[in-house]
Structure 1
Amino acid sequence: MLSDELFSSVCGPPIAANTAISKDVGIYAHTLTPTWAVKASFKKSSAPVHCLALSDSHVYAAQDQKAHVHVYSRARGNQEALVPFQERIRCIALAGDVLVLGTAEGRLILWETCTGRQITTPPCHVQAVSCIAVSPHHVLSASDDSNINVWSLPRLLEPGQDIGHEPDRTLSNHRGAITDLVLGPGSNPETNLCVSASKDKTCILWNYQTGQVLRTLLFPTAPLCISLDPCARALFVSSEDRSLYLVEFYGDKPLLGARSAELASIVMQINSPLGVADEDAGAASCMAVSYDGTSIVTGHAKGKILKWNLIDNSHPTELANLNASITNLAFAPLLSEKQNSQAATVIKPNQSQRQYTLTTQLQGDLNQGTRFDQMLNTNGFSDETIAQALASFGASAPSS
């Protein structure tokens, strides 16, 4: 049975004098299923909101009001490195082996963790970068200046490329600081979805490749954290008044797609919450949705981690009280992508270096035959090739 592993981080002083909770632990690894338990802990960290990133082998945590990133080894359970930067870090996100950092000066820093290569953009925002979202091909940076910049990740990483130019496009419909930003799982340019939350009490659904506004959602109070369900068919929003909202995109009255009865320019008012957290928990500053989409875990300013069950829509249950403000929640990937190599260690960034050395560990059988080799070694056409050809002919539309 696969076990959901949930990482949480805390920031700030202890709320109460609780000797049962260690004061120097800043990051926890919990098991959510089949039972809730603390699996591992990492010390000497104080990561604010949007400052925690996970890989298969490491945990990255930017420190509060500092220009440092702590790197922890998940296998050994200890701190592996302390990486300094030139500016204070406000948010981070991980795109493969590249850690993307947003600074208080409005810049983006891209650190290639397997080689130490570092790329720094000019100030792309007039205020601090508040949150970052990444896909295999794009980086989206949101700021306190209410704008969202869309960057091409391959263009930023291209060797010898001058990155002094502007981002691909800017999304600028918000009128307040951006509090959270999430991307849908799709990669089709026509259906690329991202959702931004702002202090102007709205969430906007975008096609971030075209810059088109798909829908604007208005809430009674400012949304603080948002998350999409695993299939990007619904949006979960937690607001300042401790309310949790569920917005379905393709319900009885679809908000998106051809069946939507209203124009995209019409603002949708959202008034009915899915539930409200207790006052002693405080507002949620972060959330995570389980991989099966049946439950939501929220982290609150007063140290509590709550679980919301979507099957019976019951009152949230308290999973833990970490006695400090919960700032980040993230599920570790259940199934890792198959890779033929894995970097052995994390290399600290070095801007002055012009040549980089990659040390990696090869994995799996590198001499396995390709599909072309299989066709060469087969007499005639194989059954698989014939089946694929017949399927392609059947799927093709007849010409007029």
Structure 2
Amino acid sequence: MLSEEFVSAICGPPLSSNTAIAKDVGIYCHALSPTYSVKSTFKKSSTPVNCLAVSETHAFAAQHEKAYIHVYSRLRGNQEAFVAFPERIRCLTLAGDVLVMGTTEGRLMLWETCTGRLVSTPPRHVQAVSCVVATPYHVITGSDDSDIHVWSLPQLLELDPAATEHEPEHSLSNHRAAITALSASPSVSIDTNFCVSASKDKSCIIWNYQTGDALRTLLFPSFPLCLSLDPSSRAICVACEDGTLYFPELFGEKPLLGPQSEEASTVVQVSSAFGATQPDVGPATCLSLSYDGTVLLTGHPKGRVLKWDMADNKTPVELANLNAVVTNLVFTSPFPAEKTTKTVTIVKPSQAERAYTFTAQLESHQGPQTRFDLLLNSIGFPQEELENAIAALGQPATAESVGEQELRKQNEELWEIINEQKALQKHTLQRYVEAKTSRS
């Protein structure tokens, strides 16, 4: 059975003097299945919304109203580094081994954690960058100025600083208020990729971010606080300020996307709620869906983490009470990505001119792949091996080698010895029978 884990972060002082809850803990690592438990904790962190990023080896947490990030080692279970930046960090995310950060000055910064290289863009947003998401080839930023910028990740990481001016590829400006959340599909095709943005203008817009086209606008009774795409990108989970949760399907009976949907200019009013939280719990400040989309976790201002069953739509179950505002929930994948290197220790960022040195631990043999490696790591029989076997069957028999001739000769001599022993045994047995008969 797969082990599902997630990481939560809190912000602000304790809500009560409950001595049963650990003090000074800011980040919790939980096991959701097979049974729920808190596996480990990290102290001295106050992490705002959209300010937690988790990799297989580290957790990065920007601090509330501060210009620094706490880096925690998940392998060693302690705080590894304290990293200061020239501006306050408002949001962050991971793009592989690159930490992408949005600042309060409207700037985008990228830190290569294996090299220490730090790339900074001009302040292309007028106000603070409120949320950021990364895809394999793009970075998408939303701001309090209501604009969304789409950046090319390879251009941002260009080694020659004079080769690019760090301009966004597209600017999406259909919203009329601050952007509160962003989520992007994992597809990289220009025809099927899209992202979803939420704003304080009570709307969510589905975009084709590579072309800059608005595909659909969804209106809600109150403004969305956070959202997440289903892992298969078939639906959007949205939590609103009034405590309601919505789960509009993109390809249902009335599809919002695709050739059978209405024109992109048609605005869809979303009114049917998936669920709602009690007033004493408060609206969801953050949410996260499991890897198969069957479990939804929501964090709330009263410190509670609720578990929702997306299949049965039953009353949510309280998993934990963290005694502070829950600001971030991040599921870790039960299927770790296959990488040839591991970042055991991060390299602190520096903008100084120096040698480009990559620091990481090799995860696998870096030599050429042998035939045995290919057969061992393949599912079934590789196509190349099957073709070679079929070709060998169609070839005429070749002359025997010297070794095969020697084996054949030894085999024949052995059979001669066996046959002689059989004949001798038969002759001896026959004489014994004749002697016994003559006596009687």
Cα distance per residue 1:123-146 (max 9 Å; x no partner): 010000000000110000110000
Q: CA deviation at 1:382?
A: 4.3
Whole-angstrom CA distance in 1 between matches of 2:194 and 2:341: 31
1:155–1:161 contact (8 Å) kept in structure 2: no
Residue 383 of structure 1 is matched in structure 2 by: 386
2:156–2:166 contact (8 Å) kept in structure 1: no
Residue 87 of structure 2 is matched in structure 1 by: 87
Residue 288 of structure 2 is matched in structure 1 by: 288
- Per mean C-alpha deviation after superposition, the further-off stretch among 275-284 and 353-362 is 353-362
Q: CA deviation at 1:332?
A: 1.0
Q: CA deviation at 1:333?
A: 1.8
Residue 212 of structure 1 is matched in structure 2 by: 213
3-state DSSP of counterpart to 2:83: strand
Whole-angstrom CA distance in 2 between matches of 1:363 and 1:182: 31
Whole-angstrom CA distance in 1 between matches of 2:343 and 2:289: 29
**For residue 365 of structure 2, what is the amino acid of its counterpart?**
D
Residue 378 of structure 1 is matched in structure 2 by: none
Q: CA deviation at 1:370?
A: 7.0
Whole-angstrom CA distance in 1 between matches of 2:333 and 2:368: 27
> Aligned pair in 2 of structure 1 residues 114, 293: CA closer, same or farther (>3 Å)?
same
- TM-score, normalising length from structure 2? 0.84
1:174–1:200 contact (8 Å) kept in structure 2: yes
3-state DSSP of counterpart to 2:8: strand
Whole-angstrom CA distance in 2 between matches of 1:305 and 1:98: 29
Whole-angstrom CA distance in 1 between matches of 2:189 and 2:195: 12
Whole-angstrom CA distance in 2 between matches of 1:284 and 1:359: 39
- Per mean C-alpha deviation after superposition, the further-off stretch among 309-318 and 362-371 is 362-371
3-state DSSP of counterpart to 1:248: coil
Q: Could you say which structure has the higher strand fraction?
A: 1
Gaps of 5+ in 1: 375-380, 388-400
Is structure 2 residue 250 aligned with structure 1 residue 249? Answer: yes
Q: Counterparts in 2 of 1:100-115, with a 5 A limit? A: 100-115=100-115
2:216–2:265 contact (8 Å) kept in structure 1: yes
Whole-angstrom CA distance in 2 between matches of 1:198 and 1:57: 33
Residue 130 of structure 2 is matched in structure 1 by: 130
1:12–1:46 contact (8 Å) kept in structure 2: yes
Whole-angstrom CA distance in 2 between matches of 1:62 and 1:322: 19
Gaps of 5+ in 2: 375-383, 391-440
Q: Counterparts in 2 of 1:196-345, with a 5 A limit? A: 196-260=197-261, 262-345=262-345
Residue 2 of structure 1 is matched in structure 2 by: 2
> Aligned pair in 2 of structure 1 residues 268, 113: CA closer, same or farther (>3 Å)?
same
3-state DSSP of counterpart to 1:216: strand
Q: How many correspondences in the alignment?
A: 379
**For residue 232 of structure 1, what is the amino acid of its counterpart?**
S
Residue 401 of structure 2 is matched in structure 1 by: none
Cα distance per residue 1:172-216 (max 9 Å; x no partner): 000000000000011111111100000000000000000111100
Q: CA deviation at 1:337?
A: 1.6
> Aligned pair in 2 of structure 1 residues 165, 58: CA closer, same or farther (>3 Å)?
closer
Is structure 2 residue 92 aligned with structure 1 residue 97? Answer: no
Q: CA deviation at 1:295?
A: 1.4
Cα distance per residue 1:53-106 (max 9 Å; x no partner): 011100000000000100000011100000000000000000011000100000
Whole-angstrom CA distance in 2 between matches of 1:386 and 1:280: 69
Choose 1 or 2 for highest CA Rg.
2
Whole-angstrom CA distance in 1 between matches of 2:387 and 2:22: 58
Whole-angstrom CA distance in 2 between matches of 1:353 and 1:342: 25
1:47–1:327 contact (8 Å) kept in structure 2: yes
> Aligned pair in 2 of structure 1 residues 263, 37: CA closer, same or farther (>3 Å)?
same
Residue 391 of structure 1 is matched in structure 2 by: none
> Aligned pair in 2 of structure 1 residues 133, 370: CA closer, same or farther (>3 Å)?
farther
> Aligned pair in 2 of structure 1 residues 263, 370: CA closer, same or farther (>3 Å)?
farther
